[in-house]
């Protein structure tokens, strides 16, 4: 690894530690609002099992989301947003 790249990597790591400790604010913050999984599922008139199987979600995970024990994050949160916004397109893709 070249010295300049290594220095940049170390600087980035130090910046991350500073942000995590609350000494510095991140330059960019991405916030994704997550729609309610239960509302999406009900809107599609699907059982938990059908919804989970259709969209590749573990049934237990879906139940945890719906009962507030866990919250969808990352790709799962994005998937729920896409399903909520355009369910027909997602259903078209997953049923192909």
If asked whether residues 8 and 25 sit together in one domain, one would say: yes
Beta carbons of 69 and 41 less than 8 angstroms apart: no
Instruction: Please give the residue range of the domain that contains residue 6.
Output: 1-29
If asked whether residues 24 and 41 sit together in one domain, one would say: no
pTM, rounded to two decimals: 0.67
Give the pLDDT confidence score for residue 33 in this predicted structure. 83
Class of residue 72 by CB neighbours under 10 A (exposed 0-12, middle 13-18, buried 19+): buried
Q: How many domains does the chain have?
A: 2
Give the pLDDT confidence score for residue 85 in this predicted structure. 95
Please report, for the chain, how many H helices and E strands are present, in that order: 6, 0
Q: Is the pLDDT of residue 96 over 90?
A: no
């Amino acid at each position: 690894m070249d010295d300049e790249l290594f220095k940049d990597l170390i600087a980035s790591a130090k910046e991350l530690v500073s942000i995590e400790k609350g000494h510095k604010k991140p330059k960019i913050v991405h916030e994704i609002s997550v729609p309610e999984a239960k509302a999406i599922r009900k809107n599609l008139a699907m059982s938990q099992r059908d919804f989970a199987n259709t969209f590749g979600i573990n049934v237990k995970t879906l139940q945890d989301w719906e009962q507030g024990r866990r919250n969808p994050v990352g790709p799962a949160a994005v998937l729920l947003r896409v399903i909520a916004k355009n369910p027909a397109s997602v259903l078209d893709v997953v049923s192909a």
